[in-house]
Chains A and B, each alone.
Chain A
Amino acid sequence: MDLFNFKKPEHFFVTGEPMIYMADVLIVLTMLGIVFVLTYYKKWRWLWDEWLTTVDHKKIGIMYLISAVLMLFRGGVDAVLMRTQLALPNLKFLNAQHYNEIFTTHGTIMIIFMAMPFIFGLMNIAVPLQIGARDVAFPALNALSFWLFAAGALLFNISFVIGGSPDAGWTSYTPLAGNELDPGPGENYYLLGLQISGIGTLMSGINFLVTILKMRAPGMKLMKMPMFTWSTLITSIIIIFAFPVLTVALALLTMDRLFGAHFFTIAGDGMPMLWANLFWIWGHPEVYIVILPAFGIFSEVISTFARKRLFGYSAMVYSMVAISALSFVVWVHHFFTMGSGPWINSLFSITTMLISIPTGVKIFNWLFTLYKGRIRFTTPMLWTLAFIPTFLVGGITGVMLASAPADYQYHNSYFLISHFHYTLIGGTVFACFAGLIYWWPKMFGFKLNERLGKWSFWIFIIGFNLCFIPMYLIGLKGMPRRIYTYPAGLGWGTWNMIETIGAYLMGIGFAIFVYCIIYSIRHGERDTTGDPWDGRTLEWSTSSPAPEYNFARIPQVNEIDAFWYRKRNKAMKVEESKPLKPIHMPNKTGLPVILSIFMFIAGFGFVFEWHLIGIIGLLGVLGCLAWRSLHEDKGFYIPVDIIQQTEAKWKKVSARGKSITS
């Protein structure tokens, strides 16, 4: 390892692909455009003060959501490119290498850089408000989590124009992902991008665990928490115990690739299968990390729009606890076919099937909540109602896959692809749409247009089923995943064409959704009351958007669905008579951004094996940590008169809103 040897990679900038050149031009133009707008409108200061240095969980949540929607676009474009290539047999739209890169980035981005930040965005927005807290336990750490995620995502995403994308699949199986078969920076980007954002995720897990356990409003016992908060708590626990495994696995493969270690190589007596083992010890809990918050969102939406308390609250909680434990003992079902013996496969078959029991309990609870409810078919409710049958299909095909002998047939076929898209799209993505629309007024003070929202829902849902139902069939007909083309005459052509049409419809659905946002910014119905859906939980008891301090007075909780209870029992008036006190808030800080920039520099250096740059970046990180240790934030107080002014303004607007509607 020579520190001063800056080995030049074969291609620094990726060349030779017209699409990549187009992307280059677009990236440069977009960046110039952003710089121009910020400079022209003199917004640099605003950007730094209001967003880059903020520690407010609501703003951090919004930044997570913006990144997630951008990544949904990027991952979606990858998907559409793949579907275009596969629309007909023997197409030459993408070559094999390019196709490999695109399915790799599609999978990685959708899981790590789309689903995760989407979920974290919604948690950040909703959880402190739901438990009646003024912020999370460690606000600066929360900002650092976001900026580390952003640094990791940026590092991963620049790979396609600088140095080349990773191309060994989102699972990055060795020995394919090792140095011998896959030299160059591509896989390094995968390893370091995931490593950096993974560290941020672990911190978020700790942060939300402590927040939920220690900062609930008085009277909110654990069994009186809103279901989304419960799901966040369980998710945080899974994150804390699963993410370190990913950290280690990535670090070991990085050592293989950069420093000649032999963990997963064929040479030196390494064990390539050990990677699959470690990857899925993290990877399976990860699936529950993105699905449990989705369950939480659906529970909130169903209960709100069926206007009923959630059926079987405690059964919901216990089933999530059961899922969290079971999620750590099923990982082998991802590689039944790697040659583990019958004992191993049998045990993991059984544990996998066991998970369907608590999940089934949840499905029945949602159905019973709907039963005899006074249902309002709003857009979030439509996404939720679509979720139940969709996820059921995904879940039941999962039980089919869990049977080890049968899995030898399904493994690596499009049957599997369809199964996990039914769970991940039908579960997580539907929940992201539902949650985003549901909490949108709380973030921005206006509702998204319902008519456009329903259009986007119906087109997306039709497209989704057109795209993925045929994949089950074609998988059973033997079409394997990750092939970039196929010959004519196998009977796959028609189905593939239908799938591609479905994928384009999903793209159109997404585009309508984006248009719906832009349209609603101007024309959306303003939310003056803070409670646009006749909600049940505490986040609807404060103004929309919520003030910096969330609640002028910390609410007292007596029941599940505390706000609903208060509305029915006229407890609002009593609360408002309590005197206001100055509110203690944390100061904003630029440190998370600066630390993440150093982390990015370190990551970039190691990607190209420029170790000196990598070490400089790491030293910068350590320096930031030491600086923080020596500069303890004491926070500041918001004085009573400012709180009074803010509250009075909301009350005035709210009263005017009520007189217009009545």
Chain B
Amino acid sequence: MTDFVMILTIFVLAIFVGFEVITKVPPILHTPLMSGSNAISGITIIGAILSAGTQHTALTTVLGLLAVIFATINVVGGFMVTHRMLEMFKRKE
């Protein structure tokens, strides 16, 4: 199996997992679902870290730094605001 087919397999299976898991999220939690999944899409941060840290060229370093900033906003802000919202749902047990 080539690398591409293997990686495509992972992609397709992950989409199926996503559909299964996310259809079970009730409408009352749709806003936290969006902000939380958004934080997860900040996973690009690991690509950004490598670009900013390996410093191949000046340009890629700058691009990497900018990407680290963008992705960190996404990750930190996303998880924090989701937590803030979910606490509001939790407090009325």
Real binding pair: no
